[in-house]
Chain A
Amino acid sequence: MVFTWHEFGSGDIVLNPEADFRLNTLSRAISVDLKTDADDIWWLIVVQPAIDPKTNENYTLLDIWEFARHLGLGDDPGDFLLIPPEYSQDFRKVAAPETVTFYARRNYLNRVNRYVLDPRANQTGIAWFEVGPAFRPDDIVIQSDPFIIAQPTEFEVPEGSVVMAVIDNGIAVGHELFRGLDAAAGTSRVAFFWNMDGVPSDDLPPSPHVEPATVGNVWTGNGLTQQLGGNMHNGVLDDAAFYQSIGAIDWSKRRHTPIAHRLSHGTHVMGLAAGFPSDGTDPADAEKRPIIAVNLRTSDVQDPSGSLFATWLEQALFFILDRHKRISIKGRKGVRPPLVINFSFGNYAGPHDGTGAIEKKIGGALSKASHDKIKCEFVLPAGNGNESRCHARIEIDSGHTREKSLDWRVQPSDRSLSALQIWLDEKGAVADDYVTLTVDGPGGIEPVEVPSHHPVAWQELLNEEGERLGLVYFLGANVGPFKRGHFGVLLYATDSPEDVGPFAPSGLWKMHLEAPEKSGDVGARAWVIRDETLPGYPVFGRQSYFDDPLYAEFFEPGLPINPLDRPLIGGRLGYDPLATSALVRRAGTLSGFASGDRTVVISGFVNTDPREDCPIALYSASGPTNNPAKTGPDASAQSNDSIVMPGVLSAGSASGSFVAMPGTSVSAPQVARWIADELAMGKAAGPAEVRAAAGAMDPPGGSTKPPDTRSGGGRMLELPILFGQSRWPGSSR
């Protein structure tokens, strides 16, 4: 196989090379998977609208729709563009917020991608967009008019209530932990449930039990309660029958159904955030925690890169804030309870400076809530990539060699995109020759150079037939939402059981970053995009990683290690060794979603006896970031019950069951629950308050207190163990 590089000229540049790769190269595999011609596929996109010079505000959705008429794609934008019917007519008419969602076909997206960086930019109304999940036309409700909800359900909750919203995947909403207690034992505490995996069916009941959705279905608490009642037999819920009745299990339509497994991520997380067991709970407490749950599509979550599921965040938050408006304090019409949102997901990619699309969206939602005088907090995990070898720190200093090399090992038998990003420290536009990335592929592929050319430069890897297998690009600062420029390398799958070839070559890809003397000190941070197969999910990809011979994964005698690491020969290290020369670092592995100013970010620790020793879990990702206002997690909570018992207990999928799951996904919701308790008492509970509370539970001065980059203000050692105290027999913890 002979591979060649092809450089794009200035006339071919696009706004978003990654989007181009997804739409025009990855679509080869996606099309086979969906059994749909690539031109017929609908894509979920998140859009940053351009500013209308006439109003100096963002264009409206209807403006963007009108622009679409004049792109030479046909008179009816409905053939290639869909405004989500979730957006009301009023919403469509006013200046759009910073991030909005559309569904679109690729003829439109390719057109927009090519127009935005040239004089035709003002013909689309779009400043930036990212491409997410793909759909067959039958998978979404395509209608131009907004949804009308016949009987919008409204809820009244007691004084002191706080709404817990959970965005996750695999949420078994029927679990008894999410029902009322005592007199309300058959009542779902889930007020609204958007199940994006929900199978559409004409048999579903109408409003007020079910509400319309473009993807999946939306159940109200009334509907869930009714279905719970219909599937209780001899006093216990028939789980399978209940989930079939709400379209959440259908083996004829779904290849993977997390809630049919013993352990499901979303059920576990929601149990920790808002689950109340029937024994030992005051029923009134349970009543004060209504839940809004959003179940992300499983097919999007099994791609851990985040490029699919994270695109949903705008729609998920829109849903949560919209439904939250229908929940008010009893006797105080229009007064809405505080809201805590838990999103136990992370990724590796992104600028890590707070300017990522996800971070901006979360920030926007929090601002909107604040504007509407709603107390709202958003909780994220720090991520589990501390030991992933997916992050590297590159520094080119004056007086030293002006080139740094990094080996990237791309795995064979990898069915998914492999990708990396190298983000410059330098803010703003840089000179074309500020820094150059040379990519040297395996198997005799000629090295190729991409300069830091503004706004974009790229080289594509082609096979003999001219089919594209890879892309190396530079995207300049201030193109789209980013303050910094970055290089990206994207490679097609290296294998598949389907006929989706040709494949990219696996092996060692060498990255050389070179900067001339005149550039001075050049710093950059590199991240490999996450593409492993998640536990319990179908085969997806194999994680590529940086292969650095200087990286010390294990302790060996003589290695100067962080005092918080244990000097056990062959033992794993949770911190970078002191004075390491490796480029690959644990420091800086924090989730790419978690660098925004206003979110609460939580890492995980391992419980021990004595508790003061509790170490941060090896996997728990680490700061710093490139955002001085968010340098790492705000605090940590327990994510492993002990060194030999991974995870903490919470709800299993089947009602009444409890299972253990580790990861910062489970520490975050424990703090979300604490935040809800604080808000219920009228206290503030944002990042600063969480830091302060953690500091009080884990006072400074102790020799075992983890550094700020791993645990923020400290370990929240006094949070209660919610379920299964028997994992520490004889202990009151």
Chain B
Amino acid sequence: MANSGGFGPEGSLGSLGSLGSLGSLGSLGSLGSLGSLGSLGSLGSLGSLGSASANPPLLVQALITNRDGIAGSFEPVAPGDVDAGSQESTAYLERLSAGVRSSIFALELGSRVGFKFDGGDANVYHLQTEYGTSETKYQLLMEMKRPTQEIFADQLTMIANYADLRADRAGEIISQLATPLEFLRSIAFVDPARTPFTVELLGMSLWLANYVEMRVKYALGCKRPVEWSPQIQPMIWTPTHGSLPSGHATEAFCMAQVLWRLLQDTGTEPYSGGLWGEMMMRQAARIAINRTVAGVHFPVDSAAGAVLGLNLGEYFVKRSMQIAPDKGWKFDGTLFKDASGSAEGLDFDWRQYYDFASTPPGLKAGVAWVTEAGFQNSAPDAPSLPLGWLWTKAKAEW
């Protein structure tokens, strides 16, 4: 997914650098998110588990000669001497490295998400299933339709005008090429040493967002502003993947929703107060808008990304809290217009479809282009015990 030389779209690729040591996990892109924390020194240590640097030749040589020196003749071990470990036990998760766990969580999430492109609709599904039974059903989690060409054309002037803020926001824009975690951690006291499981939880929510958004982007194939006009001239690399939905908006809103809901679930004062959520959503919106400032996204991309991200965030929370998902959403880009039928003056405004007052706070159907999708909830739905374990561990950190 990299454009070149380590420029990572949507932040996830940053991960490939820092956690590349974990080998196969790097390819998942999920822990890319955590890459940004490399600077904090937290996960740097994980690298030692899989990399050559953790097994320096001198030490390897020493362990060989050392064993020769002290082990003596090999004593046989009887089968009864060792207890068989528990199977499918969350207690075992704690003994695994974060990198290994991320593979487990990735399967828990990814194996229950389906996708189909159907007549202009990019449909993301949640697979309802009780494993081992025949009762399975794909429930519509997100239906996304791309805007018309007229809408994209209408929005170009706004992108050109937003360029006004490029110099003012350059520091933020460059920093936000990495994951949103750096910016969320400045709101809530997230720190790899202090809240390692919260970091892991947010990393997995980022994985989910990235996993879904890339498939949707691919399906909808929306052109970037730079493909519309030679005068947009973005200040950063334009990622090679499609414009809508904005990956930054998806990831930032997804993580903001997860973190906010986690803090609320703890009930710990003051973290569960409304101002914390307000700041997190504002942060997500600022990250999204900065991508328009940079010249790589239309405002409508941010709108679509925010809806997808909030939706996936809440979905992730439910999966983690072992509550059966029960709601899906539609984003119809063709309706992203004002009363006059134009999208020229229609900026990204997340408050139109976010309700702080609802329980839980989250998406609402406030505008024509954001509506609820039919979610039948007709089949039994097995909870994910590993995700539940991670939520509980993260919650206990607050």
Contacts and interface: CB of A to CB of B under 8 A. Distances in A.
B347 A244 contact: yes
Given A234-B275, A241-B349, A252 B164 contact: no
Interface stretch (A206-214, A256-264, A404-412, A725-733): A256-264
Contacts of B268: none
A261 B344 CA distance: 22
A257 B166 CA distance: 12
A238 B165 CA distance: 18
Interface in B129-185: 157-158, 160-162, 164-165, 167-168
For the complex, would chain B's binding face be called helix, strand, loop or mixed by DSSP majority?
helix
Given A233-B356, A234-B278, A252 B161 contact: yes
B161 A235 contact: no
B275 A238 contact: no
B345 A233 contact: no
A236 B275 contact: yes
For the complex, would chain A's binding face be called helix, strand, loop or mixed by DSSP majority?
loop
B112 interface: no
A255 interface: yes
Interface string A248-286: 001111111100111000000000000000000000000
Interface residues of B, number: 22
A327 to B, nearest CB: 35
A260 B345 contact: no
Given A252-B161, A261-B168, A235 B351 contact: no
Contacts of A538: 164
A256 B278 contact: no
A260 B282 CA distance: 15
A252 B158 contact: yes
Chain A: interface residue count, which band?
Answer: 20 to 34
A256 B167 CA distance: 12
A252 B277 contact: no
B344 A255 contact: no
A651 to B, nearest CB: 16
Contact of A260 (B157, B164, B277): B164
A255 B159 CA distance: 10
Contacts, number: 49
B221 interface: no
Contacts of A236: 275, 278
Contacts of A238: 282, 351
A242 to B, nearest CB: 12
Nearest to A252: B345
A254 B347 CA distance: 13
B274 interface: yes
A253 B160 CA distance: 11
Interface in B327-351: 344-347, 349, 351
B176 to A, nearest CB: 16
Given A234-B356, A236-B275, A236-B278, A251 B162 contact: yes
Contacts of A244: 347
A254 B351 CA distance: 23
B87 to A, nearest CB: 46
Contacts of B165: 260-261
B275 A255 contact: no
Contacts of A233: 278, 351, 356
A297 to B, nearest CB: 15
Nearest to B165: A260
Interface in A5-23: none
Chain B CB within 10 Å — which of A233, A250, A536 has the most? A233
Contacts of A235: 274-275, 278
25 contacts: A233-B278, A233-B351, A233-B356, A234-B273, A234-B274, A234-B275, A234-B356, A236-B278, A241-B349, A244-B347, A250-B345, A251-B158, A252-B158, A252-B161, A252-B346, A253-B161, A255-B161, A257-B164, A260-B164, A260-B168, A261-B164, A261-B165, A261-B168, A536-B167, A536-B168
Given A235-B274, A250-B345, 5 more contacts: A233-B278, A233-B356, A234-B274, A244-B347, A255-B160
A-B residue pairs, 9 tightest by C-beta? A234-B278, A252-B345, A234-B274, A251-B158, A251-B161, A234-B275, A261-B168, A256-B164, A252-B158
